[in-house]
Amino acid sequence: APDVMHRHPVDEPLSTGLKAIDAMTPVGRGQRQLIIGDRQTGKTAIAIDTIINQKANWESGDPKKQVRCIYVAIGQKGSTIASVKQSLEDAGAMEYTTIVASPAADSAGFKYIAPYTGSAIGQHWMYNGKHVLIVFDDLSKQAEAYRSISLLLRRPPGREAYPGDVFYLHSRLLERCAKVSDDLGGGSMTGLPIVETKANDVSAYIPTNVISITDGQIFLQSDLFNANQRPAVDVGISVSRVGGAAQTKALKKVSGT
């Protein structure tokens, strides 16, 4: 991860193309914004829509606007990954998107290492002055894989049988996302980690860990999703710690931030 001296404050917007997110919980280039919610609440859909909505920037041909995207699938069904790939192909987004997949059939070792593989690709571009968006779908599965490996190695289990360094597992991954200083090319890597909750419980071990590492969270409620509000963002507990710094003046004025 880049050290403190080579980091630049997040002050440049990364538009997701979703009004509810860009207005209420804006995402900046170099930010880590967690997408959290129960299963079947549209977490992956938000990430995929964000990737597809970078197409106009890519087609502009301006390197300062272009965003290269990486989608890391961890422990997903093979059919789900194929469906995501098809959606990106249909939208013409595969031109600037890399998919790193470790499906459910893979061993725990592959699921553990897949996010680091994706972030290594992203860092290569970031240090070459490019802008990158990386999606980790999802980090709950990586934590479970790491727990399996640790238990097989007979390491002492902690809370919920996770090893003691599970916080470090995610912090060293997400700290790779940054906006680097002009000395290193001025590139950025924006992270959209996804974490699945059980029964909307954000106080569980992995969700609280990842919330503490990231620069804000987009919380999706199953009740809102079932009431046909898409994206099902609960604006009451969703927050962006970068906030207005990652918005254009026009959007600040409209959204009142």
Cis peptide leading into 231, omega within 30 of 0?
yes
d(C-alpha 213, C-alpha 175), whole Å: 8
Token match 């007979």: residue?
154
Token match 């238990």: residue?
151
Respond yes or no: is residue 241 known to be catalytic: yes
Instruction: Kindly give the pairing relationship between strand 188-196 and strand 216-220.
Output: unpaired
83's enclosing H/E stretch is helix 78-90
List 7, 172, 230, 241, catalytic entry: 241
Minimal CA–CA distance to 192: which of 166, 205, 173?
Answer: 173
d(C-alpha 209, C-alpha 189), whole Å: 21
Three-state secondary-structure class, residue 166 = helix
Token match 């609280």: residue?
208
d(C-alpha 73, C-alpha 173), whole Å: 15
Q: Check: CB of residue 52 under 8 Å from CB of residue 91.
A: yes
Q: Amino acid identity, residue 44?
A: T
Token match 């041909």: residue?
61
Q: Check: CB of residue 127 under 8 Å from CB of residue 185.
A: yes
Q: Check: CB of residue 198 under 8 Å from CB of residue 204.
A: yes
Catalytic residue list: 241
